[in-house]
Chain A
Amino acid sequence: MLEPLLAAAAYLGQGVNLAYLALGVFVGIAFGSIPGLGGATAIALLLPLTFGMEADQAIILMGGIMGAVSIGGSVSAILLNTPGTAPNAATCIDGYPLTRQGKAGLAIGAAATSSSIGGVLSLAILVLVLPVAKQIVLLFGPPAFFMLAVLGLTSLTVAGRNMLRGLVAACFGLVVGFVGYDDIGGTTRYTGGIDFLWDGVSIVPLLIGLFAIAEMLNLYAAGGPISARDEAGEVRVVGTGEGIRAVFRNPRTLVSGSAIGTLIGMIPGVGGTVASFLSYSFAAQTSRDNENFGSGDIRGVIAPEAANNAKDGGALIPTLAFGIPGSAEMAIFLGVLVLHGIDPGPMLLIEREATIFMLILALLAATLISGSLVLFTARYLAKIAHVDSMLLIPAVITVSLVGAYALHNTLGDVVVAVFFGVLGFVMIRADYPRITLVIAFVLSGLMERNFNLSMTMFEGDWTGFFTNRTSLILFLLTLVALAVPAVQRLRARRNAS
């Protein structure tokens, strides 16, 4: 384990790679600060820029973005009461009251420090878990991998607001994944007679469309400024040192937040918003002298911020070990791997250990650098959140379409990006989750391969999925996941009566 770790550290330390990391951190903080953009949009937008890079350099750039986004989002949550990304919403509860009390520096210092430490702790857990996960991966056969992907998609939809729509979106994502020439059966599928689609739908224009373009259309349809101007934007950010010390005075809140974030991150689709709110409510319920929660308690900033950044380390466990992305960012990250010729399947953990350590180190460095950077630049970052959406929309759309074209120098990819942009926009407005579509699309190949292999193993008898022990356990877990919303509804009804 030490050898690939050292090789990754030496590679990351090279000048040009540090520059990519810095670029990723800068973009991550900026996109995190602007409400409505976030990490997925940032990664999708920068994807085309990585075409000419080595795979590890692209991973460093993306690691820089992923490690910095959540810290950037905390600034606008604390200073403007507008969360930069959805998981930062829990930080508003106590962060903004602290700003109103003239303690913005205290909140920013605590947020940056707890976010950095939360990220570091979760990455440490990831490094400890990976060798175990490697052994587990080797025990899995095709039926278990197929059922694991089903479980991943199901838990994604259960975590969303509308399970049925999530499942429908997942099915659609799988169908999009079928498009193109099928090597096994020697047939072209779902191309509609369009030659361009023989190679299938490329992940880059799909991601650019579903995230970058769809968000811009939504911004346009919503109208008005991204974030209303507020006197908090002009606030003085002093006393960040006191915020840093506050984190170390509350180790219990910090550790529990990091643990909750890592655990929640491991469950595909549950994501940072649940992690940060759960961590906040845990801190509010279990802390002594908790009467100030909600009106400016610094522990109300430490808990969600630690969880928010810690979820990334947790989400990397299913992503790297099983090729099942835990969040939209992770799905796009798998897209980066595909683009650079790396198969994001379960063998990644076994065959490309150095690449994994590269990502872990990039995330670690990005978390620490962005935490320090935010301490000095918070006041200016708050101004970024006021950027005029009418300037942002055409700029992002232009870069998105040029980037989509640059993939294969074909206008077909631009059309695909526009198609998925409009589809993503419709999905936002009609309340269908885009993340399940993307993750199903990414998993489509893995699922079909393992389904076909399993059916061959079982000689066409599908009941084999239930006689294989691992596959049966995963199937039962899928049923449990599907039953969760019904149980919750039943419990709520019982409580109401």
Chain B
Amino acid sequence: MNRRWTSRWSGPVSALVLTFVAALTLWTAYGYNRLSGLFPVFIGWVFLALALAEAVRELRRLAGSERAGPVDGAKAAVLREVTGVAWLSGFLLLIWLGGFLLATPLFMFAFLRFAGGRSIAAAAAVALGATAIVYGVFAVLLEYRLYAGLVFGA
């Protein structure tokens, strides 16, 4: 399984984002009173120093990889990663709007049909079965009140 990003920009970008987060952490920590800010300030400085070191290392590596030329299949890999996050975000949006009992079958059906390449009948059957299991386990057996969704007045 390919666990590393194929894009050569991913390392430097993530290191720079972390450097920004570290700087923000430190800057915010100085705004707290002495008791609340003592440890965050200490960690903030350590975080910033380490993130900067990582960013410098990644930028130097980037300069080296530019000489080596582009990486094959990077675009396709990044596209698949973005699609995965889009599926998850779409599910979250569906839950927010329609609640779990509407979002679950819709997400399952759409995922199985379009990402999994299942037939309409198979995708529908699995989606309905999964919703029944979620309802049975969480709402009936464990007596949790499942979120109803914005559309249904939650």
A interface residue numbers (CB < 8 A to B)? 36, 49, 51-52, 164-165, 167-168, 171-172, 174-175, 178, 182, 184-187, 189-190, 213, 217-218, 220-223, 388, 390-391, 393-395, 397-399, 401-402, 405-406, 409, 411, 414-415, 418, 421-422, 425-426, 428-432, 447-448, 451-452, 455
Contact = CB atoms under 8 A, between A and B. Distances in A.
A452 B35 CA distance: 8
| A-side interface mostly | helix
Contacts of B112: 390-391, 394
Contact of B38 (A174, A390, A401, A451): A451
B145 A221 contact: no
Interface in B27-68: 28-29, 32-40, 42-44, 46-47, 50-51, 53-54, 57
Contacts of A415: 92
A394 B107 contact: yes
13 contacts: A36-B1, A168-B47, A175-B21, A184-B36, A185-B35, A187-B36, A190-B25, A223-B80, A402-B144, A431-B4, A452-B35, A452-B38, A455-B38
Given A172-B21, A175-B47, 6 more contacts: A51-B142, A52-B143, A167-B50, A187-B32, A411-B95, A431-B3
B138 A402 contact: yes
B70 interface: no
Contacts of A220: 80, 83-84, 87, 115
Given A171-B50, A394-B112, A418-B89, A428 B134 contact: no
A220 B115 CA distance: 9
* Most chain A CB atoms below 10 A, which of B42, B81, B89: B81
B108 A394 contact: yes
Nearest to B108: A394
A49 B143 CA distance: 11
Nearest to A449: B39
B120 interface: no
A178 B40 contact: yes
Nearest to B2: A222
Contacts of A174: 43, 47
A415 B93 CA distance: 10
| B-side interface mostly | helix
B119 interface: no
Contacts of B33: 185-187
Given A36-B1, A175-B25, A222-B1, A391 B116 contact: yes
Given A185-B32, A447-B39, A429 B107 contact: no
A398 B40 CA distance: 36
B36 A185 contact: yes
A430 B11 contact: yes
Given A220-B84, A418-B92, A405 B134 contact: no
Contacts of B91: 397-398, 401
B130 A395 contact: yes
Given A189-B32, A217-B85, A405-B100, A172 B134 contact: no
A497 B38 CA distance: 48
Contacts of A189: 28-29, 32, 36, 40
Contact of A430 (B5, B40, B100, B134): B5
Given A187-B33, A430-B5, A168 B88 contact: no
A168 B85 contact: no
B55 to A, nearest CB: 10
Contacts of B25: 175, 190
B13 to A, nearest CB: 9
A168 B100 contact: no
Interface in B129-145: 130, 134, 138, 142-145
B5 to A, nearest CB: 5
A129 to B, nearest CB: 31
Interface in B79-112: 80-81, 83-85, 87-89, 91-92, 95-96, 100, 104, 107-108, 111-112
A429 B5 contact: yes
B124 interface: no
* Most chain A CB atoms below 10 A, which of B33, B83, B107, B147: B147
A86 to B, nearest CB: 11
B32 A406 contact: no
A394 B25 CA distance: 35
Contacts of A418: 88-89, 92
Interface string B1-26: 11111000011001000100110010
Given A218-B1, A402-B100, A422 B147 contact: no
B10 A429 contact: yes
Contacts of A187: 32-33, 36-37
Which 5 A-B residue pairings sit nearest by Cβ, starting from the closest? A185-B36, A390-B116, A185-B35, A171-B47, A187-B36
Contacts of A172: 18, 21, 47
Contacts of B117: 390
B128 interface: no
B22 A171 contact: yes
A182 B143 CA distance: 33
Contacts of A399: 134
B77 interface: yes
A6 B86 CA distance: 52
